[in-house]
Structure 1
Amino acid sequence: MTEQVQVIATHNGNFHADDVFAVATLKSLYPSAKLIRTRDLEVMAKADIVLDVGGIYDADKGRFDHHQKGGAGARENGIPFSSFGLVWKKYGLEVCEGNQEIAHSLDKNLVSTIDAIDCGHVEGVATGISLSQTISMFNPTWQEEGDFDTCFEEAVAFAARILTRFIAAASGGVNAKAIVASAIEKAVDPRIIVLDQYTPWKTTVLKLSDEALYMLYPSQTGEWRIQTVPVELGSFEDRKKLPAPWAGLSDKALQEETGLDDAMFCHNGLFIAGCASFESTMKMAQMALDY
């Protein structure tokens, strides 16, 4: 981090998710930087970074507004940049400690959505209560005499936590890919993939393996699970369901049906079942293959 940032400026008064998240991003890198909320051009001119106000986009000079005529550009998918997107474009990789895949995931799943809403580019944005609306609710209502700057600071603290969790989730997804890919490569039977610990697996398995039918992994409480591989993400249709006679059985009933003395349950939907031991769960997988 070679850049010295002592003063960050944005507009005062009513705030939105784009300026709140942009400030949260910068404060994660420059926690001691002073924040000034103003529309005074002379004050802004002395700031190291100015965002969402000022009518200038020049990343090299620390200017990140998008309200000027013609805006400040758009992504390849057509979603325009707001102040959050412009700040993320320059600083996102650094916030994600140099991991481009995580930075890209954040832009795809968080930054671009907030940019789209702020810029009125709502095509493809989910309806309902959004994160942008939640941030806006930190503003004082017309019935309140709250201080906008104090409310802004509260919103930034909230956004900082959200940003941290999005990064953690993206990091988990990226790291899981390598673990699942390795498990696929090491599988004795390509139809049965064993994970030494549970990690999100569906995206990677569907991308890398056309043969995988069942995933085996330990639960958080130590028992083992067998889960079917869906035909595609979000689908309730599986490549091969578990045996129909197991549906809805548990404990003694399932143990009698399978002959496994530590069998625990099988979901009625035949997509997941479990035993206390890995050995029995692997036997379940073999039975399912043969059914």
Structure 2
Amino acid sequence: MSDLAATKKQRTAQVLCTHAGTFHCDDALAHALLRQLPRFADAELRRSRDPAVWDQSDIVFDVSGEYDPPRGRFDHHQRGFNEVFGHGFTTKLSSAGLIYKHYGQEIVSTILGEPVESPVVQQLWLKMYGDFVEALDGIDNGVAQYVTTEPPRYRSRTDLSSRVGALNPRWNEPSTDDVLLDGFNKATELTGSEFLARLDYLHKAWLPARDIVVRAVEARKDVHPSGKVIVFTEFCPWKEHLHVLEEELSIPKDELPLYVLYPESEKPDAKWRIQAVAVSPESFDSRKALPEAWRGVRDDALSTLTGIPGCVFVHAAGFIGGNVTKEGAMEMAIKALDL
């Protein structure tokens, strides 16, 4: 056994190491993710660019110029590095993505208290990469979010990477090791809390909504023979689930849902909404907007125009409307299909 291996064996506490100096969102999140695992919860943190310190560490991330998981090396800066998450994702990984790729299933399993092999863990592991981690990989590696030569129409400085960056000392403030360590610890807490909040939402709200959408999609031809109208008896976040399920179920293009109906609230006398399905989850364009003649018209004037009692409104953009009753909203949907 080498002296280095013997030294590591003698240690009881794990050692995590990242680079010294200015920190970024990816190394802060990588640190926060590792801390979710019991064996690293009380690990010693070292911030150093000294190879001798790396050799005394169990996990080295965002520094060292090596990607070697069996040796605990997770850097992405070296020449020739092009690792991606896989599973359909093609964004080059940062240290956050590397840690999540190798430890993410175990992390999600630990947080949720579910077996690693459970469908819930597997689904949320992938979902959290796409919803949370991938953007940080892209930002850290300089991957443009949009493929265009047009300049952005506005700037955002409220994203997680920007907020972590702001925790570094300003150019005209002291930048000692202690100040940087304090900022890095704050960044770890910030990224970790946001990761946990997103996972909690997906587990307790997003995932249960999928079951509701599945039932509604399966029953769509009972609602209307075209299959182009979907009715939810309760509101839930349905847009993303619907587009995913359409692919999974291989719904023919000429049978894709065009309108979704749902109550405004859980009250027995709640009004009903009719919403046009967007061409994609991120799009503001509808597959078939509500008729142009209805847009911007309200109440009795809209009921007279459509010949449908109880109309409340149709938005000027035509993507959503309302009726006092479910039956009225259904009439609006059926009539809109033919216009």
TM-score range, shorter chain: 0.7 to 0.9
- From 249, 258, 262, give the equivalent of 1:213: 258
Q: What does the per-residue CA deviation read over 1:108-160, in whole Å, with 9 as the maximum and x for residues that have no partner? A: 3443333344344x344686545434322211012112611111111112211
**Paired residue secondary structure (1:90):** helix
| Superposition TM-score, scaled by structure 1 size | 0.80
Q: Which amino acid aligns with 1:194?
A: V
- From 16, 21, 26, give the equivalent of 1:8: 16
| Structure 1 residues 66 and 266, CA gap change in structure 2 (3 angstroms) | closer
| Structure 1 residues 75 and 160, CA gap change in structure 2 (3 angstroms) | closer
Q: What does the per-residue CA deviation read over 1:200-235, in whole Å, with 9 as the maximum and x for residues that have no partner? A: 225246535442221111224743211123455525
Give the alignment of 1:123-142 within 5 angstroms: 123-124=144-145, 128-129=155-156, 131-142=160-171
- From 182, 188, 192, give the equivalent of 1:150: 182
- From 64, 85, 107, give the equivalent of 1:54: 64
The corresponding residue for 1:238 is 287
**Paired residue secondary structure (1:96):** helix
Contact 2:51–2:64 (8 Å) recurs in 1 = yes
Is the counterpart of residue 273 in structure 1 residue 321 in structure 2? yes
The corresponding residue for 2:216 is 183
The corresponding residue for 2:311 is 263
The corresponding residue for 1:254 is 302
- Mapped partners of 1:151, 1:93: distance in 2: 28
Contact 2:17–2:54 (8 Å) recurs in 1 = yes
The corresponding residue for 1:198 is 236
Q: Which amino acid aligns with 1:288?
A: A
Is the counterpart of residue 113 in structure 1 residue 150 in structure 2? no
- From 55, 70, 83, give the equivalent of 1:73: 83
Q: What does the per-residue CA deviation read over 1:242-269, in whole Å, with 9 as the maximum and x for residues that have no partner? A: 3444322223333444566543221122
- Mapped partners of 2:258, 2:92: distance in 1: 41
Question: Any stretches of 5+ residues in structure 1 without a counterpart?
Answer: none
- From 204, 228, 231, give the equivalent of 2:276: 228
The corresponding residue for 1:28 is 36
- Mapped partners of 1:37, 1:220: distance in 2: 51
| Structure 1 residues 116 and 268, CA gap change in structure 2 (3 angstroms) | closer
- Mapped partners of 1:186, 1:263: distance in 2: 25
Contact 2:30–2:95 (8 Å) recurs in 1 = yes
Q: Tell me whether 275-284 or 192-201 shows the greater mean CA deviation.
A: 275-284
- Mapped partners of 2:135, 2:46: distance in 1: 26
1:184 Cα deviation (Å)?
1.5
| Structure 1 residues 16 and 125, CA gap change in structure 2 (3 angstroms) | farther
| Structure 1 residues 112 and 269, CA gap change in structure 2 (3 angstroms) | closer
| Structure 1 residues 72 and 204, CA gap change in structure 2 (3 angstroms) | closer
| Structure 1 residues 142 and 72, CA gap change in structure 2 (3 angstroms) | same
| Superposition TM-score, scaled by structure 2 size | 0.71
Tell me the number of residue pairs that the alignment of Structure 1 and Structure 2 aligns: 286
Percent identical: 35
| Structure 1 residues 64 and 244, CA gap change in structure 2 (3 angstroms) | closer
Question: Any stretches of 5+ residues in structure 2 without a counterpart?
Answer: 1-11, 110-115
**Paired residue secondary structure (1:242):** coil
Q: Tell me whether 26-35 or 12-21 shows the greater mean CA deviation.
A: 26-35
Q: Tell me whether 138-147 or 62-71 shows the greater mean CA deviation.
A: 62-71
The corresponding residue for 1:84 is 96
The corresponding residue for 1:96 is 108
Contact 1:177–1:204 (8 Å) recurs in 2 = no
Contact 2:85–2:97 (8 Å) recurs in 1 = no
Contact 2:85–2:101 (8 Å) recurs in 1 = no
Q: Which amino acid aligns with 2:287?
A: D
1:56 Cα deviation (Å)?
3.6
Q: Which amino acid aligns with 1:142?
A: W
1:83 Cα deviation (Å)?
1.5
| Structure 1 residues 109 and 289, CA gap change in structure 2 (3 angstroms) | closer
Q: Which amino acid aligns with 1:155?
A: A
